Amino acid sequence: MKSARGWRGLIGKVAWIGCGLLLVAGLMAVDPNWSGHIRRVDRMLLGAVKKVPKMADPAKRRRVQGLMRPLEPGLVLGYLYDPNATSQALNQLRRLVPVLTGIAADWYTVDAQGNVSGQTQPQVMRFAMARHLTTLAVVEQTTPSVLNSLLNNPTAESVSQYQMLTMVESDGFDGVNLDWEGIPAADRAHFSQYVGQLTKLFHQHGYYVTLSLPPETHNQPGSSWTGAYNYRVLGREADLLMIMAYDQHWSGGTPGPIASTSWVRSVLSFAVSQVSPTKLILGIPGYGYDWASEGAGAVALTFTQAEQLKQQYAPKSSANHFQYVQGGVLHSVWFENTRSFLGKVQLVSGFELRGIVLWRIGIEDPKIWDFLE
């Protein structure tokens, strides 16, 4: 979706389907033990991830010091997750470039000493820059003990900040995205301070700092999963907050919607009470889960895998959930499709947010792009 049209133009185009949305009745409460961060989904979908070598020689972008490339309104971003550095990411970009305005490349990680490692894909960067896409380097960490050590060691903090700056500068990114999940609640102030320091450093050199944050429906500073993320303070310090409004029902919990419209509305209601909507990006899922009544946890599904099961067991259903019996075991499947996706896009317009980001490119219902183009 091109920014000149804005989100309101999109709503006029999809209003007909919005009237027929099947909304899940009532507000679904957030599981207090929710800790199924989305990396778990992709480990199930992709299998074991190989260790990646140091960053490759990048395609470089010249930048005037301190001059930041403007971020357009109506952002349509997608997380790129291709840990084995295949040609998949580039092929997906070629297909979606008429619609996407930017990418968040999930290629990097940071350790307790602040060392940043990963593998840049130069061919993807050259393609994205040639088409003027916004490019963000995602630096991931999901181990609480690692994050606690990093945020309580000033030397490690400084090392990580300057290594991220060097990576962004040398590889031609517009900025960085911190996807740090599971930070201990006791480190709430430390993380806010870290983000403030990082943003000051990056702005001096003309780069953006963005954050991927877990969803909340109310302030929970004591929560073991969301307590470390002070939306109000982080919204002042960072340039964009990407609210990962998914895993309402996660793989280790009970069956239910991945991100019901009513629940996402509650998540956004809280977010806009803390942060300017112009700084908020709604994270929308593209995956599903298959829960078995017997067994440990659900199996993650791409849209294609979920649709194949539906055609086999519930071919007449138009809903994004169904049940089936296999080997005497009852299965419950919930997944995201175009209809559920568009319901969330309507919320983006209603709350006047900055845009959307899809988790992740390649596992979604391909028809969603027809409505965004």
Residue reference for tokens 């181990």: 143
Express each pLDDT in 317-354 by its tens digit.
999 999 999 999 999 999 999 999 999 999 999 999 99
Element (DSSP H or E) covering residue 255:
none
Express each pLDDT in 169-217 by its tens digit.
999 999 999 999 999 999 999 999 999 999 999 999 999 999 999 999 9
C-alpha torsion sign, points 216, 219, 223, 228:
positive
Task: Return the number of other C-beta atoms located less than 10 Å from residue 358's C-beta.
Answer: 25
CA distance 314 to 337: 15
Query: What's the pLDDT band for 69 if we cut at 50, 70, 90?
Result: confident
- Give pLDDT, residue 77: 98
Contact 363, 302 (CB under 8 A): yes
- Mean pLDDT, the chain, rounded, equals 87
Q: Pick 91 or 52 by higher pLDDT.
A: 91
- Give pLDDT, residue 182: 97
- Could you tell me the domains of the chain? 6-287+337-372 (3.20.20.80)
Distances (CA, A) of 299 to 288, 305, 336: 8, 11, 15
Distances (CA, A) of 248 to 21, 194, 262: 19, 28, 11
Express each pLDDT in 258-289 by its tens digit.
999 999 999 999 999 999 999 999 999 999 99
Q: Pick 310 or 51 by higher pLDDT.
A: 310
- Give pLDDT, residue 82: 84
Single-letter amino acid, residue 157: E
